[in-house]
Amino acid sequence: MSKAILQECLSEAKNNTYAWELYFFKIDRRRSNQYESYKIRFRYSSYLSNYAQQLLDCMLSFYIDKIDGVEEYNGFNTKVSCDKLLINNDLIRDSWNSFETSIATSNDDRLNDKDRYNGYVLVGCPQENDANNNLKSVTFIKVANPLIKLETKKSLVFKNNDNNELDTITDDICRLYFNADSLVINDSLYNFNHSFEKLFNIEQTLHNVKDSAIQKIIATESISDNDCFANYLQQSNSRTFISMNEDRVKNIEDSTKRRYIGDMLGIEINTEDKFVVSSLDEATSLIKYLCYKIVKEADTNNILEASSLIKRN
């Protein structure tokens, strides 16, 4: 989904009738269902709809308008772009399903002021009687505790009461921000920072992706010393392996292409037509090739390296 379509979706949510619901959530990785959500009630429904309108305004003006474009998530995108990740992507699928289930089955118990909440979710759905059938549901995610404790060990907070006297404030207050860390439309998650990585426990998933990628490379039988090569790759950033390209993995299965790749990267090929990876630098060069972070320029035959291959949507 392009930046223009993001703008269109939020503008439609702003200019049409939507029903809004707010949920606080907690995360406990020790639980089988690691997310727990609470539906929040407002004294007047207009409070939430007014907040949603202001949030939409701010997201359009200060976030969507400011980004250069939408890019596929690869772990290294700059924050002048918006990361896009399908919710059924292996990196977040299980966590997203658990998160979504917690919202669908949320309870409306009284909030415990002593609890710490990890964030909140604002869900907007077009009204059924709306004539425009193309309107899409919009979900905003903010990773920040919405409850603020005014009374701390460092200070006391007072309010002026009806008798013009100062009185202590002992209740927590709720703060909702005019920004969001992530936005969900249809089957895609759009991220304006890396908060979603912690929310969906991507760090652990990335370790699994890395291990799987290493085994896939070794399975090509193109490396002379698999153990040494695997040890080198274990020192690589797990994010690098997100963009591993299947076509390039197939290239190193072919002995003829393997010799060409070895010559291009400066990696020795032995008499069995296998890579002799003898240093961390050589291992890094090969994994960069496989993850499409090294390309050969057709006009000059120069080897170009980039921290990421930008794919605009």
Clarify whether residues 195 and 217 are in a common domain: no
Dihedral sign computed on CA atoms, order 44, 45, 51, 57: negative
In a domain, 190, yes or no: yes
Clarify whether residues 300 and 241 are in a common domain: yes
Report the percent of the chain where pLDDT is more than 90.
72
Clarify whether residues 211 and 187 are in a common domain: no
In a domain, 160, yes or no: yes
Range of the domain at 8: 3-200
In a domain, 227, yes or no: yes
Least confident of 48-52, 76-80, 209-213, 295-299: 295-299
Clarify whether residues 232 and 155 are in a common domain: no
pLDDT of 308 above 50: no
Instruction: pLDDT band for 26, please (50, 70, 90 cuts).
Output: very high
- Mean confidence (pLDDT) of the chain: 90
Averaged pLDDT, 182-200: 95
Clarify whether residues 194 and 240 are in a common domain: no
**Domain boundary residue, one of 200, 216, 243:** 200
CA–CA dist 226, 304 (Å, integer): 27
**Domain boundary residue, one of 176, 200, 224:** 200
Clarify whether residues 153 and 274 are in a common domain: no
CA–CA dist 64, 59 (Å, integer): 6
Confidence at residue 140, expressed as pLDDT on a 0 to 100 scale: 99
Looking up tokens 């969001």 gives 180
Confidence at residue 310, expressed as pLDDT on a 0 to 100 scale: 46
